[in-house]
Structure 1
C-alpha cells in the first residue's frame, strides 16, 4: 500500500508546486505589462502631453486628437503666421499667385527652408478645394468670415478650426493670431518667443527714432494704383515706432491717391511700398512720376527722403512682413 500511494502523492505535490510557480510567473508578467502600458500612456514627454487638446473656435469647440503632421491654412492672410512654427508639411492659400508671392523672397527663405513640404492650395485669395483634398491635411485652419462659403466643404476634408475673425483679427493684430496658432499647434513657446522678440525690436526702434522731426507717409504702389496707407493699418509704424502721420481727413483708413493728392499731403519722409519690388518686369503706377515736376517738388524728394521698400511685406499684415518692415524703416530713417 505504501509503495502504491507514495509515488502518486509525490507527483501530485510536484504538479501543485509547478502550477503555483507558473501562476506566480504569469502574475509577474501581467504586472510588468501593466506598468509598461501605464508608462507608455502617461504624458511624460512634451509631445504626449499636448494631445488631445480642445480648441475654442468661432463655432464652439474642436478637439484635435493627435499631433497634426500636415496642416493647411485656407485663409489667404494666415500663411505668414503658419510659417513661424515647427512643421514638416504645410498647405498654403496665398493672396496672389505663387509667382507673385513673397514666399520666394529672402525674408521668407529662413522659414520656408525649414519646412520639408509646402503645397499651394489656393491663389489670389481663392481656395482650390481639389488641391486641398489632394494634399490631404490632418488639420485645416480657416477664418469664419473669409472662408464662410466653403466651411461645409472644409469639414468634409479634415478637422477644421474656424477662427473668429472679429476676436482674432489678422489685419490689425497678428500677434493675437500667432498666439492662437501656438495654442492650436501645441507650440505656445514658439508663438511667445516670436511675439516677444518683435515687440522688443519695435520698442528699440521707437527709442532710436524718438528725435526724428517731420511726418512720414507710406504709400502702396500697385500696377495701376497708388494707395495712401492709413494709420489703422500701419500701427506698427505710427504707434509702435512713434512716427508722426501727415494731416489728412482720410489718414485713419487711407485712400487711393494720385500724384497731385500726394503733393497736397507733401510728407517730410515718403516710403514707396512697391508690389513689384522683387520682379521689376511688372509695371508700377509710379513709373512716370520721376519725370514729373510735381514729384520733384515734394519735400521728401527734394531732401532725398524717399525710400523704396517691399510693399507686399512692409505694408502687409503678417509677422514676417511686419518684422521686415520695422527693420527696413528703421534703417532708412537712421541714415
Structure 2
C-alpha cells in the first residue's frame, strides 16, 4: 500500500509540472514543444525583449551584458524592472538561467547554438537568428515568438500596425531617397564597422528607399554582416549619407577628420554625416526598435534636403 501511494504521489507530482497544453514551434534548431502560455520567459538577446515588449509581456530573465541600462526605457516602460540579469548576451550564465526555473528560453542562432542542448535541458528553448538577421527576418521572428508565448493573434495585430507605420515612413523618405546612398556604421577607439545591406539597419535603410553604398548578401555570417573598414575602404564606398554611432569618445573616426580622404567623402562635403546612438542603432532590433530608428532618422533628415 505504501509503495502504491508513493507511486501515485510521484505520478501526481509529475503531472503538476507538465504544462496543461503545449504548442509546437519551428525554429532554427528544429521543432520544440513549448507551454501554450509560458509565464517564466528568459531571453538571451535584446531583440527578443523587443518582441515581448511589443505585446506587453515581461520576461523573468534577460541577457543584458550585466548592464541593466542596455534594456532601454522604451522596453522597461512596458515590461517593468522585475527581471533578473543572466549575464552577457554572448555567454549568459547557465546557472542563473536555471535558478529562474524558466518555462521558455529564447536564444540566438549565432551566439547560443553551442549551448542549445544544455539550455533545452533547463527549459524548452527556441533559437532565432537575431544577430545576423535583417529587418524582415526580425518581423518573422516576432511572429514565431508570438506563437511561442501563446499570443499569436496579438502579435499579428501589432505587426500589422507596425507595417502600416513603417510604410508611412517609407513613403515620406522615398520622396528624397531615390538614387541616394546611405550607410550606417559604429566606431570605437580601434576600428569602424559598417552594417552591410544584409544587416538589420542596412535592410531598413533599403526599405526607406536608400541605395546601398556597399555590397553584401545575407549569408548569416557575422563578418559579412558587420564589416571592418579602413578609411581608404570608406573612401572607396563613399556614401552620400553617413550615419555614425560611437561606442567611445573619441572614436577612431575622430582621428580621421583632418585626413584628406575623410574630408573628400561626399557625406562630409555636403554636411550629411549624422551622429546616432550606437547602442540603439547597433544592438537593438525588432518592432519597437525599428519605429524608434525611423523617428530618429526623420529628425536627422529634417531640414537637410
CA positional deviation for 1:188: 2.0
Q: Give, in angstroms, the shift of residue 296 of structure 1.
A: 2.6
Matched residues in 1 for 2:147 and 2:217: separation? 35
User: Which among 156, 162, 171 is matched to residue 133 of structure 2?
Assistant: 171
CA distance in 1, matches of 2:110, 2:257: 41
The equivalences for 1:185-200 within 5 A come to 185-200=149-164
Question: Does residue 264 of the first structure (1) align with residue 236 of the second (2)?
Answer: yes
User: Hey, what does 2:118 align to over in structure 1?
Assistant: 153
In structure 2, C-alpha distance between the alignment counterparts of 1:89 and 1:206, rounded to whole Å: 32
How many aligned positions are there? 270
Give structure 1 stretches of 5+ with no counterpart: 1-49
Deviations 1:82-110 (A, max 9, x none): 3333334421124x4426x631x344443
Q: Paired residue for 1:219?
A: 185
Determine which structure has greater relative contact order: mean sequence separation of CA pairs < 8 Å that are 6+ residues apart, divided by chain length: 2
CA RMSD of aligned residues (A): 3.0
Q: Would you say the 8 A contact 1:102–1:108 is kept in 2?
A: no
Larger radius of gyration: 1
Q: Is the 8 A contact 1:70 1:90 kept in 2?
A: yes
- What TM-score comes out, normalization by structure 2 length? 0.76
**What's 1:323 paired with?**
291
User: Which of 240, 247, 251 is matched with 1:275 structurally?
Assistant: 247
Residue aligning to 1:38: none
Q: CA deviation at 1:307?
A: 0.7
Is the counterpart of residue 130 in structure 1 residue 100 in structure 2? Answer: no
CA contact (8 A) 1:269 1:305 kept: yes
Asked whether the equivalents of residues 66 and 86 of structure 2 are also in contact (C-alpha less than 8 Å), the reply is no
Q: CA distance change for structure 1 residues 61 and 156 in 2, over 3 Å: closer, same or farther?
A: closer
- Residue 204 of structure 1 and its aligned partner are, at CA, apart by 1.3
Match of 2:263 in 1: 296
Counterpart position of 1:36: none
1:120 to 72, 76, 85: 85
